[in-house]
Amino acid sequence: MPSQEIDNKDTPNTEVKPKTRTVFYVSDATAITAETLSNSVLAQFRGLAYSRYRMPFINTLEKAKQAAMRINEKGKETGVRPIVFSTLVASDLASTFNEYCNAFVIELFRAIVGPLERELGIPSDHSVGKSHEIGDQERYNKRIEAINYTLSHDDGQTNRGLEEADVILVGVSRCGKTPTSLYLAMQYGIKAANYPLIPEDFERGELPHALQGIKKKVFGLSIRPERLSVIRNERRPFSEYASIENCRYETREAEMMMNRENIPFLSSTTKSIEEISATILQKLKIKADPHIRL
């Protein structure tokens, strides 16, 4: 079974070529949990580079053996034993894999599931492929509904149903509203609309009309003008729209308006989508239908 090469290098360029370690994500399901946790953990180690490979859907004994042998080959090839983040759940899969694999294996579930069984007083299913199952169909449908809502309320496309939003992001064009809205919908099942602040709003000196009655759902994003100018220049090079003067004007006016209207906002300049989203959720204290959240 083929593994997928993910990444060659995870650290900034340095004078000395960093030592490269090979990392595998092995799972009986999507391997997304193994990858997420491994990215978080490896972010703590600087000065190393990683070649990363995904091995999802390792759900038979034969595949577990093959996966182990592929990883061993890679170890021989590189001369350093690979690091494996495994979320294999079924004990026969895990033990077959461990029996054949010569790598440094971190078993994410084994360390957690055992103690949890004792705490909860019930045995776990030890069953394969559950991590990203649809699960509760109703919750899942709400998540899809949130994604569709967010798509149809991107960039102020329509004011219809805006009052149904859990949150409405505002800010100047290209400050990060769209990816953040989509992440909120996808990860948290939140109906996130977004609405641009444009020069006409600054001239009128007031929030777009559509937002005035629902201000408590509004959250602002801002951005450093230098960064905004770089982003806009990729879209429309040498335009007035992308010029540093215009970017300075728009971000200054937008921040003044948000201050005046008491709209909480944060700067997206150095923050990832995940960090912005988690901050918004915390600041607005969104209490959406508890079944929505994933």
In the bound state with a second copy, the residue whose beta carbon lies nearer, of 125 and 245, is 125
Alpha carbon separation from 18 to 15, 48, 144, 153 (Å, rounded): 9, 5, 42, 45
CA distance 251 to 121: 55
Burial 241-275, CB ≥16 within 10 A → b, else e? bbeeebbeebbebbbebbeeeebebbbbeebebee
In the bound state with a second copy, the residue whose beta carbon lies nearer, of 105 and 168, is 105
Q: Minimum distance between the CB of residue 211 and a second copy, rounded to whole angstroms?
A: 22
Q: Minimum distance between the CB of residue 246 and a second copy, rounded to whole angstroms?
A: 21
In the bound state with a second copy, the residue whose beta carbon lies nearer, of 251 and 277, is 277
Please check whether residue 176 is in contact with residue 273, taking contact to mean a CB–CB distance below 8 angstroms: yes
In the bound state with a second copy, the residue whose beta carbon lies nearer, of 176 and 208, is 176
CA distance 70 to 151: 41
Q: Minimum distance between the CB of residue 263 and a second copy, rounded to whole angstroms?
A: 19
Q: Minimum distance between the CB of residue 58 and a second copy, rounded to whole angstroms?
A: 11
Q: Minimum distance between the CB of residue 212 and a second copy, rounded to whole angstroms?
A: 27
3 state DSSP class of 78: helix
**Alpha helix (H) residue ranges in the chain:** 32-42, 61-78, 91-100, 110-120, 137-152, 177-188, 199-204, 225-235, 244-260, 273-284
In the bound state with a second copy, the residue whose beta carbon lies nearer, of 147 and 221, is 147
Q: Minimum distance between the CB of residue 226 and a second copy, rounded to whole angstroms?
A: 14
Nearest alpha-carbon partner for 3 in 39, 41, 34, 47: 34
In the bound state with a second copy, the residue whose beta carbon lies nearer, of 47 and 161, is 47
